[in-house]
Amino acid sequence: MNLQRQIIKRSTQLISFFLGIEILLGYKLWFPIYREFPLLSAFSWLDFSIGILGDGLLTLLVLIALVAIFLDWHKKLALATLLGCLTILILEDITRLQPWVYTQVALLILLCFNKKGQVKSVLTSVLWLIALVYIWSGIQKLNLGFLQETFPWLLTAFGFNLKTDTSAAMHTFNYVFAVVPLLECLIGVGLLSTKTRKTSIILALLMHVYIILSLGPTGLNWNLIILPWNLCFALLLLQFYALKEPLLITKDMSWFAFNYAVILFFGLLPALNFIGYWDSNLSSTMYSGTHSNVIFYFETDSTPQQTTFRAAATLPVEGKKQASLISETWLTSWSVYDLKVPFYSADRYYKRYGKQLCETTKNTSKAGIKIITRSKFTAKPVVTKCSCLTLLESNYFKLLSTK
Q: Residue 83 domain-assigned? A: yes
125 occurs within a structural domain: yes
Nearest to 287 by CA among 177, 197, 189: 177
Do residues 16 and 90 both lie within one domain? yes
- The model's pLDDT over 48-57, given as tens digits with 9 standing for 90+, comes to 999 999 999 9
Interval 224-236: pLDDT, tens:
899 999 999 999 9
pLDDT (mean) for 190-209: 94
Calpha distance 110→255 (Å, rounded): 13
Rg (CA), the chain: 22
Q: Indicate the range of 87-91, 98-102, 321-325 predicted with least confidence.
A: 321-325
* Closest C-alpha among 27, 25, 29 to residue 37: 29
CB-based contact 124:256 (threshold 8 Å): yes
The dihedral over CA atoms of 108, 110, 114, 118, expressed in degrees to the nearest 10, equals: -140
Query: Looking at the domain assignment, is residue 355 inside a domain?
Result: yes
pLDDT at position 401: 46
Give the range of the structural domain holding residue 237, as residue numbers without chain letter. Answer: 2-142+178-282
Q: What is the mean predicted confidence (pLDDT) over 198-216?
A: 95
The predicted pLDDT at position 252 comes to: 62
* pLDDT value for 99: 96
Distance CA 140, CA 181 (A): 8
Q: Name the domain boundary from 282, 309, 324.
A: 282
Domain boundary among 282, 305, 340: 282
- Residue 87 located in a structural domain: yes
Alpha carbons 210 and 155: distance in angstroms, whole number: 10
Q: At what angle do helices 99-112 and 226-241 cross, to 10 degrees?
A: 30
**Structural domain ending residue among the three candidates 282, 314, 330:** 282
Domain membership flag for residue 329? yes
Residues 246 and 193 grouped into a single domain: yes
Asked if residue 389 and residue 256 are part of one domain, the reply reads no
CA distance 236 to 145: 30
Which of 242, 335, 296 lies closest to 11, judged by CA?
A: 242
CA pair distance 142, 321, nearest whole angstrom:
39
Q: In total, how many domains does the chain have? A: 2
Please tell me the total number of residues recorded for the chain in this structure: 403
**Three-state SS at 384:** strand
> Are 301 and 207 contained in the same domain?
no
pLDDT digits (tens, 9 = 90+) for 125-157: 899 999 999 999 999 999 988 988 899 999 999
Same domain, 189 and 43: yes
pLDDT of residue 397: 45
pLDDT of residue 24: 97
241 pLDDT more than 70 = yes
Mean pLDDT score of the chain, rounded to an integer?
88
Which helix (H) or strand (E) is 79 found in, with range? helix 75-92
Which of 122-126, 199-203, 322-326 has the weakest average pLDDT?
A: 322-326
pLDDT over 70 at 324, yes or no: no
Query: Angle 395-400-403 (CA atoms, 0-180°, nearest 5)?
Result: 130
Tell me what pLDDT residue 402 has: 42
Would you say 40 and 94 are in contact if contact means Cβ atoms under 8 Å apart? Answer: yes
Q: Please check the confidence at residue 257 and state whether its pLDDT lies above 80.
A: no
